[in-house]
A and B are shown apart, each in its own frame.
Chain A
Amino acid sequence: MPAAIEVEHLTRVWPQPKGPPVVAVHDASFSVEGGEVLGLLGPNGAGKTTLMQVLATLTTPDEGRVRVAGFDVVEDPRAVRRHLGYLSTTSGLPARLTCRECLVLFARLHELPDPRAAAEAAIARFRLGDFGDRFVEGLSTGMRQRVRIACASVHRPPVLILDEPTAGLDLMSTDDLLREVVGLRDEGAAVLYSTHLMHEVDRICDRVAVLYQGRLLVVDTLDGLRASTGTADLAEAFRRVVGSQGLS
């Protein structure tokens, strides 16, 4: 059975108006199985967002092959989107729709047989009942993030791509959201989870991939990373991996 996410020798280059092109991702290969959370780590500008955008069909790879849920992101992007839930730091929801309306809209666009039932199920799963009829723009950051992840997963996708989903959230909201991600993983979803926060990695990730200047340095389990870097502290392990490439 193929992995939920398969990335083989992916390269993505961003041309620049002035100066040489930027190689955002270079020859990256990894995979993520269903029921697994892969933490994607890397300093700012490492290429994490570009990698996730390729997986989400927001941009295309220059080289290599990427398959999501068994579908090629170039050859069948719509099928990829049908099996994908995507949440980034820049994605948003229509401000003047209520949470419930957003969920119904997403369910309809995914052509679910009973959009309203799917929306109600998501409301129950993510505990949105108290503010289901409030406009998205009137929600706090944490509430809004919960609605966004509920919308991204209303169709129960086998693959979730989450780009720093807890950015800006308080502790309680972060706890809620991580619990929800774990719940989705336990339901069998493959999750690619980008973050800068090591305690989140320690809490929910099964494996980690470290990206630095577009190159994938390490793909390993948490224990494997600790062992290879000689430290039990994940933050220190990350520093050592990246530091070995010349970053202090």
Chain B
Amino acid sequence: MRLRPGAIRCFVRAVVVLTGAELRRLLRTGSVYAVVLLPSLLLIPVALLIGTLAMSVVDQRDVVALPRSLPPELDLVAGLEAADWKVVQVADPAAALDEGDADVARLSWERREGIAAAGSLELAGRARWRFVVDGDDPDVVAALRGQLVALGDDWLEDAVAAAGGDPEVDLWVARVDVQALEPTEPQLLDPVRGWRAYVIFLLGSVAFFFLSLTGVADRRQGVTETLAVLPVSRQAVLWARLLALFLVQVMATVGLGVNFLLLLASVAADRDLQVPGGWALLSLAGAVLLSDALYGIIAVVAPSARAANNGSSAVMLVLVALLCVGVFVDGAWWVPLAGGVSARGPLENGVCLVSSLVATAAVVGMCARALDRRVDLVLKGAEG
């Protein structure tokens, strides 16, 4: 089929006109505010509360991952813990860093001749142990470096005392050599976890929103029939509705997005968290587009207003369960499934609100969990 320019112009014109009318109508509909904007506002105190709680209960110490094999002469675990580091001993410190389970790691060490191997406390010119630490945060790396050097100093003092030597002469000797590689660019270790949860929440809530507010009510009011006898294509009516809903969703989700950023900012204020703006935009746009697509599918598939709007309450319970489980298991693939089920569910606003709040609470919890670690520090494994 070949489209004539005149037909395209008429179509676009109709879509624009209808979209304007739809926007006016939607923005004057109380349910929009009750179902979407109210939860969005509620998210502010909820997010701040959760963030405050997270800050108060979370162990604020920096986590250092050490290999299981350590120099027996240096009691690194006790020494670092005494210096307010949280020490975890793992088989693969690099993996711990990659997974966000540690803030910094001493990735490798080697024994050298050093002063002990020389058999005396004379200048040996070489360190006894050489450690390699790589990181993008010079402060954290420097702190670990200083701590390791201090532990080496302690060892030397003990060794000097045991040997009866004069520590004032020999303490400047490099007992521990810490090599810090060039800092890498700051990266988010685990940005996906929090943002994916946010996207899931958005998808779920906007799906409810679409289903509760859209064409179904219009059909009951006879608006659809009225529009059907106007000289515009029915596709234009559908597209205008989708476009208007898209714009409303953008407006609504901008509020949610700001709240989410507030949450991140509040938790990360003293933890050097960096939030990339591109992620926020992509997530919002993706959520909105997918939700619109979801509504479009439902609108097309639903055989009638009655069929779209009336189902058994058991179906809605299944829907809510799917959504909540999907949020908790962090699986975005649950969302289309939940949306598909919702096409046959009863779409009462109260249920939508409760579902949205449940999803909100779940996601806030996930965000707090995701933020329970420093996320801007990347340490790479390096050979000594």
**A interface residues with partner B (beta carbon < 8 Å):** 56-58, 78-79, 81-82, 84, 86, 88, 90-97, 101, 105-106, 108-111, 135, 148, 151
Contacts and interface: CB of A to CB of B under 8 A. Distances in A.
A92 B226 CA distance: 6
A58 B229 contact: yes
Nearest to A85: B229
A58 B218 CA distance: 16
Contact of B225 (A82, A88, A94, A111): A88
Interface of B: 10, 13-14, 17-18, 21, 24-26, 28-29, 218, 221-223, 225-226, 228-233
B25 A96 contact: yes
30 contacts: A56-B229, A58-B225, A58-B228, A78-B233, A81-B229, A81-B230, A86-B229, A91-B222, A91-B226, A91-B229, A92-B226, A93-B223, A93-B226, A94-B21, A94-B218, A94-B221, A94-B223, A96-B24, A96-B25, A96-B28, A97-B21, A97-B24, A101-B21, A105-B18, A106-B230, A109-B230, A110-B231, A111-B231, A148-B226, A151-B226
Label chain B's interface by main secondary structure.
helix
B232 A109 contact: yes
B235 to A, nearest CB: 12
A90 B232 contact: no
B231 A81 contact: yes
Contacts of A90: 222, 225
A19 to B, nearest CB: 19
Which A-B residue pairs are the 8 nearest by beta carbons? A92-B222, A96-B28, A92-B221, A82-B231, A81-B231, A86-B229, A96-B25, A91-B222
Contacts of A111: 10, 13, 231
A116 B218 CA distance: 25
Contact of B17 (A92, A105, A135): A105
Contacts of B26: 96
A88 to B, nearest CB: 7
Nearest to A135: B28
Pick from A57, A79, A111, A135 the residue with the most CB of B within 10 Å.
A111
A151 B230 CA distance: 11
Nearest to A88: B225
Contacts of B223: 92-94
B225 A109 contact: no
B33 to A, nearest CB: 13
A84 to B, nearest CB: 7
Contacts of B222: 88, 90-92
Given A94-B21, A97-B21, A109-B230, 18 more contacts: A78-B231, A88-B222, A91-B222, A92-B221, A93-B223, A93-B226, A94-B221, A95-B25, A96-B26, A96-B28, A97-B24, A105-B18, A105-B21, A106-B230, A108-B17, A109-B18, A111-B10, A135-B28
A97 B25 contact: yes
Contacts of B226: 91-93, 148, 151
Contacts of A106: 230
Nearest to A106: B230
B231 A101 contact: no
Contacts of A86: 229
A2 to B, nearest CB: 20
B74 to A, nearest CB: 74
Given A92-B222, A109-B14, A57 B24 contact: no
A82 to B, nearest CB: 4
B218 to A, nearest CB: 8
Contacts of A135: 28
B306 to A, nearest CB: 14
A94 B226 CA distance: 10
Nearest to B229: A86
B29 A96 contact: yes
Contacts of B17: 105, 108-109
A108 B218 CA distance: 20
Nearest to A82: B231
A81 B230 CA distance: 6
A108 B17 CA distance: 7
A84 B21 contact: no
Specify which of A82, A105, A148 lies most central, judged by the most chain B CB atoms within 10 Å of its CB: A105
A58 B224 CA distance: 11
A108 B29 CA distance: 23
A84 B231 CA distance: 9
Contacts of B14: 109
B191 to A, nearest CB: 40
Contacts of B231: 78-79, 81-82, 109-111
